[in-house]
Amino acid sequence: MGLLETIGEPSDLNALSPDQLTELAQEIRDFLVANVSRTGGHLGPNLGVVELTLGIHRVFNSPQDSIVFDTGHQSYVHKLVTGRQNFETLRQKGGIAGYPERAESDHDIVESSHASSSLSWADGISRAYQLTGQRDRYTVAVIGDGALTGGMAWEAVNNIAADKNRKVVIVVNDNGRSYAPTIGGFANHLAALQHELQNKVDKVRLDSRYERTLAAARTKLQNGGSVGQMIYRGLHGMKAGIKDVMVPGGIFEDLGMKYVGPIDGHDLEAVETALESAKNFGGPVIVHAITEKGHGYAPAVSDKDDMFHAVGVIDPDTGEALAKSSGKSWTSVFAQEIKDIADEREDIVGVTGAMLIPVGLKPMAAAHPGRVIDVGIAEQHAIAMSAGLAYGGQHPVIALYATFLNRGFDQLLMDVALHKAGVTIVLDRSGITGPDGASHHGMWDLALLQFIPGLHLAAPRDAVTLREELREAVAIEDASTVVRYPKGSVGADIPALERLADGTDVLARHGDPNPESGQRDVLLIGVGAFARLALDTADLLAERGVSVTVIDPRWVMPVPASVVTLAGEHRIVVSMEDGVRAGGVGSRIRQEMRAAGIDTALNELGLPAEFIKHAERGEILEEVGLTPQKISADILAQLAGNMVPFARTEGEKPKHTS
């Protein structure tokens, strides 16, 4: 039996000797490589926080003390020492989540995997403990240096620092990277901190006697008349000067927080010493730990792009991917096209939030390094800054994961849309993303964007339409535009039978119109990647003798007039979108139909307004009923008048009220 198997809860770590802890750390790394290589997941970040996590759990008492992980992709080690070692189904349906999850353990607190929020949680938790008299409880936030590029983190630091009595310990896991290398002025500051001498002075500075002695000397000198005050000013200036040289934590201490570090985050003794000192101080403390992403696993350390931030199924010995992707990804199609557009237009500027490679801006950055801006994990700033770029004559293209658009909504509404700025936002990984779970599904954007005045929203169905809709988007200079597409392989091109005058594509027609009413039975509207779902559904209906038209609006905002016209030419309309159906594209089409006086029934299909757990995309779509078999069966029932919404009866002509 290995040591890891003896750890069922954090308190079991306290009985281990230093040598055993070193052995345990290696066992954990071996375990992670062996297991994550089979399932895929966030390998590099977790290899980098082994000693840091062990130290936190030895010094603090979870769940009595609250431990919050920013983003949470570095919580695998935390899961292992809190009784969750069944990694065989990590990130799979029914298995343990890739992020903290309250349903799994009382040790997990924050489930959201959006960065830079942990310090706000720590502020709130520690305030609650203070208000309820629970002064023996500590709050520990583990935040990567990349997450400190987000402004929200500094808003929280500002508030935490204002109260000297709250027991908050902020552990900065500084590996020089978020997904890729951390950028910006703060990152430069951390990189410049000197390791030497720091540990020698931290114990003294965090000893309460040090603070009492300073306070007593300060009072005595300031009350000692002009001579005493002059001596105090001289000593205070000398102290500040020495401190700037020996204790380079000024950016934190200027805010009123104690700073410890930098410490070697892979030296368990150093980690525990720093955390014990921070704990004993009794007020807010920053502990700055230098770690290496992928530590102890050569393939990860040598991967300069992302140090195995997230991997699929790999060979554990070599790190080579075993499951090869079949075909081009949506991201790669965008990457090539935006680079080509930037070659043609000097005003195109790429903008990313610490995700240069994942969102596909690396080729453009290589070709035009001065025209791709990485703002760090700061979506609000990215969007507002882009409004300024547009004002200055540029056309910014902001590439984000769809789930992170939520964070910049106010800026999109008030800084971009209100000012009719020519800004394009490209949303990667829209819809169901799969194993990363609720906070990574990009399922909110279609509903979120519906009411933004003047916004144009495109949902390409294949590589061809992605290229052409991206070009159409950047050609619009007096309004905001959004282009969104899913995760994974783009699939085969889906040619149109016909393109209507306003850009709507007719993808299929089955059967003839009713000779009495002139109508077909069903109009299927496939939004973006759901065009394939609409075509497959149409095939099943055609086999049952149902006459069907399948269309792709291409631009779902504003709703093309042809979509409304076609709705009046069918007995029932069914819209399909890979976003929440509440307030989504289907709802907007319904409103436009009613405004035009068209009474055709419309069934809006999409995702439920729920937080959907991790599973494969296909498993989730089947679970929510978005399969050709389920949809076609329901449509047949609606045509027969056995299920709402009821289709218009066969031969009945539509009523137009306008």
Residue positions annotated with a catalytic role: 293, 379, 407
27, 379, 384, 650 from 392: Cα distances, Å = 55, 20, 13, 58
Joined tokens for residue 528? 């973006």
Cβ atoms 455, 421 nearer than 8 A: no
Using alpha carbons only, how large is the chain's radius of gyration in Å? 29
Residue 497 CA to residue 217 CA, distance in Å, equals: 86
Token reading at 314: 């790999």
Output the CA–CA distances (angstroms, integers) from residue 99 to 75, 76, 117, in the order listed: 6, 8, 14
CA distances from 154 to 12, 34, 146, 325, 567 (A): 35, 37, 13, 40, 51
**Rounded to the nearest 5°, which phi and psi values hold at 592?**
-70, -35
Distant-in-sequence, close-in-space partners of 610: CB < 8 Å, separation ≥ 6: none
Contacts of residue 136, defined as CB under 8 A and 6 or more positions apart, other chains included, come to none
Q: Tokens in use for 41? A: 């997941």
Q: How many CB atoms lie within 10 A of CB 141?
A: 29
Give the N- to C-terminal CA distance of the chain in Å, as an integer.
78
Whole-number Cα distances in Å, 253 to 265, 288, 640 = 21, 13, 72
**Helix and strand counts by DSSP (H, E) for the chain:** 24, 18
Q: How many CA atoms lie within 13 A of 200 on its CB side?
A: 6
Largest CA distance in the chain: 107
DSSP string, 378-436: -HHHHHHHHHHHHHTT-EEEEEEEGGGGGGGHHHIIIIIITTT---EEEEEEEB---TT
DSSP state of 321: B
Buried/exposed 380-399: b ≥16 CB within 10 Å, e otherwise: bbbbbbbbebbeeebbbbbb
C-alpha to C-alpha distances, 140 to 23, 62, 163, 172, 558, nearest whole angstrom? 25, 10, 16, 11, 47
Residues 6+ apart with CB under 8 A from 12: 6, 81
Sheet strands (E) in 443-519: 456-458, 481-486, 498-499, 505-510
Going by C-alpha positions, the residue among 297, 301, 275, 299 that lies closest to residue 288 is 275
Strands 601-607 and 498-499: unpaired
